[in-house]
Structure 1
Amino acid sequence: MESRLEPLDPSDHSSTYTGAAGLFIRQHWLILGPLLLLLNAIRTRYLSPLRRYPGPFLASTTRLWKVLSTASRKTHLHHIALHRRYGPVVRIAPNEVSIASPEAARTVLSAGKRFYKTAFYAVFPPPENPDIFTEVDEEAHARKKKVANVPYSMAAMQQLGPFIDDTIDLLAAKLAGFATKRVECKARGSVDLGAWLHYFAFDVLGEVAFSRSFGFLAEGRDVEDAIATIDRSQAYNGIVGQVPWVDRLLRRNPLWKLVPTLDTRNAPITRIALSELERRRPFEKESEGKLRNDDGRQDLLASLIKGHLETPEKFSEGDVFAVAHGAIFAGSDSTASTMQSLFWHVLSSPQAHAKLVQEISGAVMSGALPPAGNISWKEAQELSYFQACLKEAMRVRPAVGLNITRVVPPEGAELDGRFFPGGTQVAVNGWVLHRDKRIFGLDADEFRPERWLVDVEEAKRMERYMFQASSPAQLLR
């Protein structure tokens, strides 16, 4: 009998090859895994358009360097050291560079230049209702900023000045009590001034945002661990923000909310903001900015509610909550940090302290300042050395130590004479920018308030390149 050969079925070969490949991978995965990681590291380091820029080896192959640097809480110092070692442009991640040029930073952060925010910002709470700082959608950001600009304006802030006088008086009384030993201090005989300034910042923002103090100064403690909760949240935001996809496995994971201590809705500031919203209902009663206590002031929340009532389709109730929440969440930390920097530098410099005391005493003697009580914002503006100390404190120690990162437009962009392809992430760090010797002088590392008083035009030039996030206007970026 004659045998016949059946035609070969191509699918049989495919199945055979697939099976063989699967078997090979299973048998050699201990070798193949590291090999693939090595090949990917070589690709990202040597084949990337950013390969020409120097930086740590680990940073050019993975975002792990950024995670570790942020987790150390010294990333601002790391970036200063990197730029001094490598120059004005440093590669700090496979697709990210840090730039030290203040001129380039202005371009990156300017509105209308189409350098959009990265996914880093989406990690910050509340994720379902981003505030102005965390909003990555440019159109939504513009809508929210338009409404929030009203209560954050200098005119609005000055109107609220008299309502925080009691808080200022309480802080002064507490510090005077420590100084005269009327209040028993800790066993070591010292007082944590930084903590008391943080309590003060919280209570002031409570008055500005919700027309009530949170009671931090009165109780002399971190009420409901609100500050500690924000610190923990900010640590999470900073670290996980370097690898945003991890957030979906953690805080955005539905299982996360099953643990009460982890659910962000249970955070003190979130609960306070939500309770204040409920207290103002029905919102129509806020249309004239008069609160239930009938003192006639228009606080931040009242102004935001008015904005919502005027254009509910553009500024939702969720936006009201998000902006009010963000004012306390981010504002308390940056405000406290700025005050801490001012006090630390002035008290650490006998010369600066003596000059400041002399200026204030002279103003009282001349009648420019009242001999007792609080002074107004306008009166403070006339204290030139005090203003110089404040600017210098914000320059030397910006409130935010993390990078501010933007994405280069699709067509690419030229920054400081260098072309960066579209999609590149460009980071700027205030601690680096404020130490540019071309802008701030050869002694840019030093706290020297006098640099702001030498020449008016030079002072304007320096102020143009200040990138601190220590004011409401800065927080609206």
Structure 2
Amino acid sequence: QRFDIGFRQPNRTLNHPGPNEGRCAERSALAVEIHIHVVIEVFTCFELSPPSCVAVMMPYSATLILACVAAAFLARAIFIALHSPLNRIPGPWIAKFSNIRLKLAVISGRRIHYIDALHKKYGPFVRISPDEIAVNDSKAIKQIHGIGSGFEKSSWYDTMVAMERPTLFTMTDGKSHAARRKLLARGFSKSNIRQNWEGVMRQKVVLAVDKIRDEAARNGGMVDVLKWWTFMASDVSSHLILGEDFHTLERGEVNDYMRILTKALRGAGIGAELPLLRSIGQRLPFQFTQKLWNTNEFLDDYAKVAVRNMQQSGQSKNVFANISAEAEKGDIGTLDLRDVELEASALFVAGTDTTAVSLSYVIYAVLARPDLRRRLEAEVAELPDNFQDADLEKLPLLHAVIEETLRLYGAAPGMLPRVVPAGGFDMGDYYIPQGTTVTTHAYSIHRDPAIFPDPLEFKPSRFLPESEDKLSDAAKAVYMPFGAGSRTCLGLHIAYGELRLATAEFFRRCPGSRLAESTTEDVMEFENFFLIAPRGHKCEVVIDSKTFWA
């Protein structure tokens, strides 16, 4: 076997020399070739003919081969660690050799906390693995996520979502992504959502608050709002994306699809970081590992519902109803039935837990501040009974509360990995070679005190235009609860609509509510498996009994 290892650093112009540029260039020109000559050495040592040698070696061949392969990989890791052009970037020493520490943080649900701690210790640029840099610098973030920047999504997305074709979420090619997004954009525009789907969303929101009040009345005022927001969000997504209502609000429990999807999402997050573990788990006969990593066929059956309903009209139609027909008219790409199935599956996932978690943190943040609760209740109390989302969009405090919740408690504050384009890039004081993965985290940039003063304080006034605390232009540029640049979440208008409608409905019909004693900071602390969720998997509140008969 032969392992060729080398770094080839693109030529730098004389205007942009890096420190130790000469030595880096010499090292980059090196190619280490490791040759395994075990059989030849044995021939020489024992003076054996090849057949005799094979007989002598047979009991030891597997061990020797494994040992040699291990030695070769170890030599490769050491070479990279000693000669990598990323060595100037600070970070934990183990990151030069391995990403094992990062993987441990991922599988324990602590990635965003681990990365944030590294930024606090080492600064805005931190090496977190042999070929990955975490970036928490406002200028660099704009460079990475700017439209047309050339920083494409990394292969991590393909690893996380194992589908036979790329979807809008996993596409790494910018041109393909732009064509697909253009196809889907009209169906997910604010005007289309309001015209065709606001009535459905409002109906689900009202039913969710009905159920919250009913359960509270039966339970001494206590109710878990996370549970009911999850039912609501899944029913909205199933209706809009699949064209088929799951009716989880009416039943008060999730269906098989949601139960299996929850496990599969956790499995996807772990499998993306530990693909070998996923590969082994897929072959194990245990129900737990099967639910984590062998559910594609089951989930796919539900996605096919989207295609069937897309071709219908009336109650069963969905947001994809006119997309395929429009795709055939122009030159913006095509979308066949299989594409619709895969996009529907991905978009359903994106629109369920994210909305439910964000809504729960809105309730948590407001109820933890009685004065803010009273002000918000007063604002939404002035709405007419037949209020619409357009009315809610004009309420300054409601808007500010939602945006500040998304800053501190956005459901997807984790990694957005991108690949440095050809020619490399200068970021801060460092040159980052092409092919390096650079990863940004909304969790960290939203907590940078240089950009968001008093970052850990929940201050809706940041988003009030006349406030002294209003966001600076620099803060607005890196505020990214729904992603950044051309990759911003396609379904954000659905998400904002649900957040506004549900928040207004709750505080109009459940005034005087408070947090239950069980809803502590520890219970509401994040766990992070790509998306976030409260560690306690609940958000219990107490509804004032006077509202039960209102």
The reply to whether TM is greater than 0.5 is yes
- SS of 1:450's equivalent in the other structure is helix
The reply to whether residue 277 of structure 1 matches residue 303 of structure 2 is no
- What is the count of residue pairs matched by the alignment? 435
Separation (CA, whole Å) in 2 of partners of 1:310 and 1:398: 38
Taking structure 1 as reference, are residues 310 and 66 closer, same or farther at Cα in structure 2, changes over 3 Å only?
farther
More off after superposition, 193-202 vs 104-113: 104-113
Separation (CA, whole Å) in 1 of partners of 2:351 and 2:487: 11
Opposite residue 101 of structure 2, the aligned amino acid is W
Which residue number corresponds to residue 422 of structure 2? Answer: 410
The reply to whether residue 89 of structure 1 matches residue 125 of structure 2 is yes
* Superimposed CA distance per residue, residues 327-378 of structure 1 (whole angstroms, 9 cap, x where no aligned partner): 10122122222212211111222232222123223xx1xxxx11x35x3221
* Superimposed CA distance per residue, residues 392-439 of structure 1 (whole angstroms, 9 cap, x where no aligned partner): 000012211431101101200122343211111100011001112222
**Contact 1:308-1:320 within 8 A present in 2 as well:** no
- SS of 2:322's equivalent in the other structure is helix
Separation (CA, whole Å) in 1 of partners of 2:343 and 2:458: 34
Separation (CA, whole Å) in 2 of partners of 1:265 and 1:475: 23
Separation (CA, whole Å) in 1 of partners of 2:365 and 2:440: 24
Which residue number corresponds to residue 177 of structure 2? Answer: 141
- SS of 1:97's equivalent in the other structure is strand
Taking structure 1 as reference, are residues 27 and 97 closer, same or farther at Cα in structure 2, changes over 3 Å only?
closer
Which residue number corresponds to residue 10 of structure 1? Answer: none
Which of 185, 191, 213 is equivalent to 2:223? 191
**Contact 1:55-1:90 within 8 A present in 2 as well:** yes
Which residue number corresponds to residue 423 of structure 1? Answer: 435
1:201-216 counterparts in 2 under 5 A? 201-216=233-248
**Contact 1:412-1:421 within 8 A present in 2 as well:** yes
Opposite residue 299 of structure 1, the aligned amino acid is N
Which residue number corresponds to residue 389 of structure 2? Answer: 377
Which of 235, 248, 264 is equivalent to 2:266? 235
- SS of 2:186's equivalent in the other structure is coil
Which residue number corresponds to residue 54 of structure 1? Answer: 90
Taking structure 1 as reference, are residues 214 and 43 closer, same or farther at Cα in structure 2, changes over 3 Å only?
same
- How far did residue 216 of structure 1 move? 1.3
- How far did residue 239 of structure 1 move? 2.3
Separation (CA, whole Å) in 2 of partners of 1:354 and 1:337: 23
Opposite residue 204 of structure 2, the aligned amino acid is T
Taking structure 2 as the reference length, what is the TM-score of the superposition?
A: 0.71
Taking structure 1 as reference, are residues 123 and 14 closer, same or farther at Cα in structure 2, changes over 3 Å only?
closer
**Contact 2:404-2:458 within 8 A present in 1 as well:** yes
- How far did residue 126 of structure 1 move? 5.2
Which of 200, 210, 215 is equivalent to 1:178? 215
Identity of aligned residues (%): 23
- SS of 2:88's equivalent in the other structure is coil
Taking structure 1 as reference, are residues 197 and 235 closer, same or farther at Cα in structure 2, changes over 3 Å only?
same
Opposite residue 423 of structure 2, the aligned amino acid is E
- How far did residue 114 of structure 1 move? 1.1
- How far did residue 450 of structure 1 move? 1.4
Separation (CA, whole Å) in 2 of partners of 1:87 and 1:464: 20
* Superimposed CA distance per residue, residues 435-462 of structure 1 (whole angstroms, 9 cap, x where no aligned partner): 1222211x01221111222159736553
The reply to whether residue 303 of structure 1 matches residue 322 of structure 2 is yes
Opposite residue 377 of structure 2, the aligned amino acid is V
* Superimposed CA distance per residue, residues 136-191 of structure 1 (whole angstroms, 9 cap, x where no aligned partner): 23332122111111111111121121222221121121112123x1x458xxx742
1:426-465 counterparts in 2 under 5 A? 426-441=438-453, 443-453=454-464, 454=467, 458=471, 461-465=474-478
1:107-186 counterparts in 2 under 5 A? 107-125=143-161, 127-159=163-195, 160-179=197-216, 181=217, 183=218
Flag the structure with higher strand content. 2
- Unmatched runs of 5 consecutive residues or more in structure 2: 1-36, 46-52, 492-550
- Unmatched runs of 5 consecutive residues or more in structure 1: 1-12
- How far did residue 265 of structure 1 move? 3.5
Taking structure 1 as reference, are residues 20 and 237 closer, same or farther at Cα in structure 2, changes over 3 Å only?
farther
For the aligned residue pairs, the C-alpha RMSD in angstroms reads: 3.4
- How far did residue 124 of structure 1 move? 3.6
Taking structure 1 as reference, are residues 271 and 448 closer, same or farther at Cα in structure 2, changes over 3 Å only?
same
Separation (CA, whole Å) in 2 of partners of 1:195 and 1:20: 72
Which of 342, 352, 355 is equivalent to 2:375? 355
* Superimposed CA distance per residue, residues 12-71 of structure 1 (whole angstroms, 9 cap, x where no aligned partner): x99743645897988878987776565444333332111122222333211222221111
Which of 217, 227, 231 is equivalent to 2:249? 217
